Structure 1
Amino acid sequence: MILFLVLAQAAAPAPAPATPPAPWVPRERANAGGGSSLTASTTASDGSSRLVVKCDRGAEPVVSVQFIAKQPLQVAGDDGSYPDKVVALRFDNGPAIGYTWQLRGNAAYDAAPADVTALTMFLVKAKSVRVETTNGAGFAFNATFAAPPSDAPVRQVLSACGYTLGTVPAPLAAKPK
């Protein structure tokens, strides 16, 4: 009987490897501290990085467009800070459109409401997106992504933070002291 159980366990199929998430399907995640986020993303055609549209819902909602590479995009300065860097995007092989993104190691992001509005509008109209920047060693780094098949996933992420696709949100009112 014991031999039968050992053989049955040995013959059991190994668990299937985790499949990568489907591109541009919005995903909800709980964050530490009680907030949550909703993201829609895709992986570069060469697997080198991800392009993400993200809504972080915490004390104040923040929408960002993020580029996350497997290699460092920036190294910390002598004071431990990460200087901002221009990241350019080409939509459907059009001209490069550069924005100043914030960096931290292998991640770059832009959360400026006007930039997010412009980037998401270009994104939903494109078929492909090429991100161009430099890596932490200063060498060119490029990644090409398939754009979302429709504007629905981007609209869903934006609306989760009170944004409307194509409209720069009004600044948040200052909190009374």
Structure 2
Amino acid sequence: MTVRFIASVASLPAAPLVCHAEVFLSLEQAQRLIFPGETLAEASLILTERQKRQVEQASGVKVRDRHVRAWRTPGGGLFLLDTVTGKHEEITYACGIATSGQVKQIEVMAYREAYGQQVRNASWRKQFVGATVHSDLTVGGDIRHLSGATFSCGSITDGVRRLLHTHAIAFSSPSPVPATAFTVC
């Protein structure tokens, strides 16, 4: 006697599926694209609890990981490696910030979502160039929405806004103290 087992798809255990995953740039390739010809030195840090709260309050974006992966250029530029979550999966991107505190460039390094890859388009990424902590870095503000990439657009935009505030709070040199505030002996 033959016994047949028939199971519906709904009865199978749910497992997370990654439908699509592509790595477009290595760390070194992204660094060369954003800061060509520059030698970068590791400058990673762990935000203090106070800095984390300041970044969250200033940016309006939750800090998921206090460890900030960063590299500095000799001139003071900063290369930041970050990961955000799109609709379901992670998106790894790099953000270069000039010494002026303006976004120099962003690059999508790895994209794991099944759709929404339009965020890799140079014309969409170019919208971030020149942005600062004072910019309206919101989808619908300074950043236009991409049909089919709603979550990815919002996630990367929020991430860049968070990185700009992280730069201002944790990486920028403190404001100079007026000379009249103390006497050097």
Answer whether TM exceeds 0.5 for this pair.
Answer: no
Larger fraction in helix: 2
TM-score, normalisation: structure 1: 0.30
